[in-house]
């Protein structure tokens, strides 16, 4: 039974940032439309996570991506929420036993955006300028383009990072195009980083709905809004990440696309300073998405050993 005894209210767990809430609201709307439900049949449950509370340290030093999901997944296990809405790029490669992704919403633009109040693009930053980022992937990729730049820790939600730019903490930063679009803040994009320059994080731009595998009603509800093409590309990308045992400590990028019945995947592993890069590109049948992602990881890891 979903929700409190006798009410049938569907409880959607989410972080409390404006972007997380926008994603939860989009999920609720899609469920309402798919099942003919009213808004009052849902409850948005905001859950504060360790990753949201500790903002003065790099994620790699305090436990990684799982700090954004721990408390939410505990609520799923305890059945105090029925489903959880996540930014897929924030999810660890392996989920806890008994939990699974049951649906993905249609993917937004997966690219990164360069954002600055002073210059139009990354190349216009002055020599030695401060670049704000909490992502080792973005740092490494930026240093590969501009090795002269200096990095400063830049954690917090989109609004917090925009304030830091206004306060002069850094001259530029990177944000996901998808997040800015979903928040109606795309006007702040100075330049979009094309994938040849900055391959995105695995699963960037995708929303995932996580459930407890024993919750059959939740599964039936969210299956109706699953976007299969997004699910296939995300499965490929996450297989790449899982095989590499990737975390926020390792600069890893990956992106898959579908054309007809063919899936194309590009992956990248970098050194922290961006000087070393192992890149891989693989195509294959859509039905082999996980195999393609896994094989790409094996090949990229072999390249990395050669470069070491």
Catalytic residues: 90
| Residues 194-223 as b or e (16 or more Cβ within 10 Å = b) | eeebbbbbbbbbbbbbbbbeebeebbebbe
Assign residue 24 a region: left if phi > 0, alpha if psi is -120 to 50, beta otherwise?
Answer: alpha
The 3-state DSSP composition of the chain as helix, strand, coil percent (nearest 5) reads 40, 25, 35
CA-nearest of 153, 160, 139 to 52 is 160
Tokens at residue 274, please?
């961006």
Please, where are the H alpha helices in 105-259? 136-145, 158-166, 177-182, 216-223, 228-244
């Amino acid at each position: 039974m979903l929700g409190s005894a006798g009410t049938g209210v569907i409880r959607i767990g989410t972080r409390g940032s404006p972007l997380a809430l926008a994603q939860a609201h989009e999920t609720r709307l899609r469920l309402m439309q798919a099942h003919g439900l009213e808004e009052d049949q849902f409850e948005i449950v905001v859950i504060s996570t360790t990753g949201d509370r500790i903002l003065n340290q790099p994620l790699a030093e305090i436990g990684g991506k799982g700090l954004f999901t721990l408390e939410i997944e505990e609520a799923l296990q305890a059945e105090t929420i029925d489903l959880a809405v996540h930014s897929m790029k924030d999810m660890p490669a392996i989920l806890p036993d008994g939990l699974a992704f049951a649906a993905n919403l249609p993917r937004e633009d997966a690219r990164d955006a360069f954002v600055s109040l002073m210059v139009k693009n990354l190349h216009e930053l002055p020599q030695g300028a401060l670049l704000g980022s909490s992502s080792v992937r973005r740092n490494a990729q930026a240093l590969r383009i501009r090795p002269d730049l200096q990095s400063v820790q830049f954690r917090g939600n989109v609004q917090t990072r925009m304030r830091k730019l206004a306060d002069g903490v850094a001259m530029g930063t990177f944000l996901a195009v998808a997040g800015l679009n979903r928040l109606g803040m795309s006007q702040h994009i100075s330049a979009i980083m094309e994938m040849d320059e900055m391959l995105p994080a695995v699963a960037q731009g995708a929303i995932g709905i996580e459930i407890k595998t024993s919750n059959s009603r939740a599964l039936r509800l969210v299956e109706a809004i699953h976007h299969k093409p997004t699910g296939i590309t995300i499965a490929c990308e996450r297989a790449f990440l899982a095989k590499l045992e990737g975390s926020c400590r390792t600069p890893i990028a990956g992106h898959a696309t579908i054309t007809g019945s063919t899936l194309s995947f590009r992956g990248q592993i970098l050194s922290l300073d961006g000087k070393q890069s192992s890149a891989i590109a693989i195509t294959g049948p859509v039905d082999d998405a996980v195999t393609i992602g896994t094989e790409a990881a094996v090949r990229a890891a072999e390249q990395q050993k050669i470069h070491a």
